[in-house]
């Protein structure tokens, strides 16, 4: 099971920048997209189907905003849209697919960069999502959580930890949530496979065009797995050379 997680910052924009051509290179069996900013009918999804993908879309109610999708060559046994938590579902933040005894959740965590109100909501969402996962694990204990978490966990995960101490995405409360989440039986697949990796980022600010060239980035995209899948983790990578977005794809491989 080869999995990609990728915030495309608009799926239509990514397609215009060569996203479909990249998929033709067969980078993974399951492609988890965040921030699609579109509805299925606004996208030429038949090009994805021609590559062998079944496509599942969960768009935000607000047009051109948020939303998640999964394109998969492995047929799921079940697909569930949302978490039944009103605001999260209104923003199209979570989609779940079951593959045998493995449950994959693709999530677009809120950003708090636009101000205090959204930062407050981000903390609310984190708590709600944590509780949702704990409840789900009672019946579906083998989980894969892909997505843009919008949190750089450790100092090694951000190019300028001192200068960003007060920046949303690297605040102490957000990093503490990641500590709690991982201590609750989840594994950061990239760090598990690459414990000593430095300068490994998945997002670069678009406000300053040179920062990607200089690799002044943040690692805020993750594929995490429950500890009971640790023995099946075969690989985890980041693909910074793939450039359809201000994020890049990240990758994990499980033996099933």
- Alpha carbons 71 and 23: distance in angstroms, whole number: 10
CA angle 82, 137, 67 (to 5 degrees): 20
The domains of the chain are located at 2-254
Catalytic residue among 44, 54, 77, 148: 148
Condensed to tens digits (0 to 9), the pLDDT of residues 83-133 reads 999 999 999 999 999 999 999 999 999 999 999 999 999 999 999 999 999
**DSSP secondary structure string for all residues of 180-236:** HHHHTTEEEHHHHH-TT--S--SB--SSSTTTTTTT--B--EEEEEEGGGGGGEEEE
**DSSP secondary structure string for all residues of 50-85:** HTT-EEEEE--SSTTS--EEEEESSPPSEEEE--S-
pLDDT of residue 208: 87
pLDDT of residue 118: 98
Average pLDDT, the chain: 98
pLDDT of residue 219: 98
pLDDT of residue 239: 98
Condensed to tens digits (0 to 9), the pLDDT of residues 43-95 reads 999 999 999 999 999 999 999 999 999 999 999 999 999 999 999 999 999 99
Question: For the chain, how many helices (H) and strands (E)?
Answer: 7, 12
- Alpha carbons 233 and 193: distance in angstroms, whole number: 8
> Which residues have a Cβ under 8 Å from the Cβ of 233 and sit 6 or more positions away?
187, 189, 192, 193, 225, 252, 253, 254
- Alpha carbons 228 and 230: distance in angstroms, whole number: 6
Indicate whether 25 pLDDT > 90.
yes
Taking residue 248's Cβ as centre, other Cβ atoms within 10 Å add up to: 21
Closest by CA to 19, choosing from 32, 28, 8, 29, is: 8
Token output for 107 = 């999530």
pLDDT of residue 209: 81
- Alpha carbons 108 and 121: distance in angstroms, whole number: 13
Closest by CA to 95, choosing from 73, 130, 124, 70, is: 70
Q: Is 44 a catalytic residue?
A: no
- Alpha carbons 246 and 113: distance in angstroms, whole number: 15
Consecutive H or E run containing 31: strand 30-34
Condensed to tens digits (0 to 9), the pLDDT of residues 205-238 reads 998 889 999 999 999 999 999 999 999 999 999 9
Domain with residues 2-254, CATH architecture? 4-Layer Sandwich (3.60)
Q: How far is CA 242 from CA 35, 203, 216, in A?
A: 17, 12, 16
CA angle 18, 72, 16 (to 5 degrees): 15
Grouping H, G, I as helix, E, B as strand and the rest as coil, residue 42 is helix
Q: What share of the chain in percent tops pLDDT 70?
A: 100
pLDDT of residue 128: 98
């Amino acid at each position: 099971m080869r999995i990609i997680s990728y915030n495309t910052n608009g799926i239509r924009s990514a397609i215009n920048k060569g996203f479909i051509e990249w998929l033709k290179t067969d980078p993974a069996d399951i492609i988890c997209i965040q921030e699609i900013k579109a509805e299925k009918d606004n996208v030429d999804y038949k090009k994805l189907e021609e590559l062998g993908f079944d496509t599942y879309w969960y768009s935000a109610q607000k047009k051109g905003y948020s939303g998640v999708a999964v394109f998969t060559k492995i047929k799921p046994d079940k697909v569930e849209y949302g978490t039944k938590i009103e605001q999260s579902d209104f923003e199209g933040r979570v989609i779940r697919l079951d593959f045998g005894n493995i449950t994959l959740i693709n999530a677009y965590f809120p950003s708090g960069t636009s101000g205090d109100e959204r930062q407050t909501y981000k903390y609310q969402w984190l708590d709600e999502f944590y509780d949702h996962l704990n409840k789900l694990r009672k019946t579906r204990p083998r989980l894969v959580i892909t997505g843009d978490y919008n949190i750089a966990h450790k100092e090694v995960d951000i190019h300028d930890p001192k200068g960003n101490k007060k920046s949303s995405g690297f605040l102490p409360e957000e990093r503490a949530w990641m500590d709690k989440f991982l201590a609750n039986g989840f594994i950061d697949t990239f760090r598990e496979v690459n414990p000593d990796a430095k300068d490994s980022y998945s997002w670069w600010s678009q406000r300053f065009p040179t920062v990607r060239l200089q690799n002044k980035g943040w690692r805020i995209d993750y594929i995490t797995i429950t500890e009971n899948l640790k023995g099946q983790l075969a690989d985890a990578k980041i693909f910074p050379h793939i450039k359809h977005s201000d994020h890049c794809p990240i990758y994990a491989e499980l033996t099933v």
